[in-house]
Amino acid sequence: MELIRLNKAIAETGYCSRRAADRLIEDGIVKINGKLAELGTKVSNKDVITVGEEVITKEVRNIYLVFNKPMGIECTTDENIPKNIISYINYPERIYPVGRLDKPSEGLILMTNDGDIVNKILRSRNNHEKEYVVVVDKLITQEFLNGMSNGVPILEQMTKKCKVSKVDPRCFNIVLTQGLNRQIRRMTEHFGYEVKKLRRVRIMNIELGDLKKGEYRDLTEKEFTELNELIGDSSKTID
């Protein structure tokens, strides 16, 4: 669950500026869950903030977005980093990416403010299929396809067997259930190939479809229900 400074949380409700929030905290009239707050305290969206007798906690629905990340955008919540995904999307509520997609890569990434579903997705290793379309620098051979699908020694371990199929002479489709650091790039490099373009087109049951690069959409009710079935029993529903 994401934590942010109390003064920022107060400012995001529209109650006052961060500086004014600091003064209210110093004056001893701000409480978190009924307890007196201190400067620098961090809060989550589950905490109840009061100023005097007034509850100012901002009620925010659970947000689930499908985003088509362009190449060059960094999957980080640190807004001080140039071309970070948070500043790029500029969504009115606090959201963060589920997992990562390398800066040179593009395609589907899920964005949410629901920490519970993030944990379930990242834990659901057996059902967590991720599908990519990859363009490489030279002609694809059957030997390359067989080698990629049967496991590749990278990062001092063998990758799990996976589905790999040829799309055209220099392009292939690959479905992974792992999320090792720069996995596809390292796997192709092992066979002397270089990735020229890497696009993620599916995460479990969620497909990128015809969503334009740089745009996002809400997860549909059907997608959300199917996703919950894949990651285990859940009572959560879209608000």
Give the tokens for residue 38.
């201190």
Contact by Cβ (8 Å): 83, 93: no
Contact by Cβ (8 Å): 47, 32: yes
> CA-CA distance, 8 to 201, in Å (whole number)?
35
**Beta-carbon neighbour count of residue 79 at 10 Å?**
10
Determine which one of 22, 102, 137, 168 is catalytic: 102
Residue 22 annotated in active site: no
- C-alpha distances out from residue 107 to 44, 76, 121, Å: 29, 16, 18
> CA-CA distance, 205 to 213, in Å (whole number)?
20
> CA-CA distance, 9 to 56, in Å (whole number)?
10
Tell me which residues are annotated as active site.
102
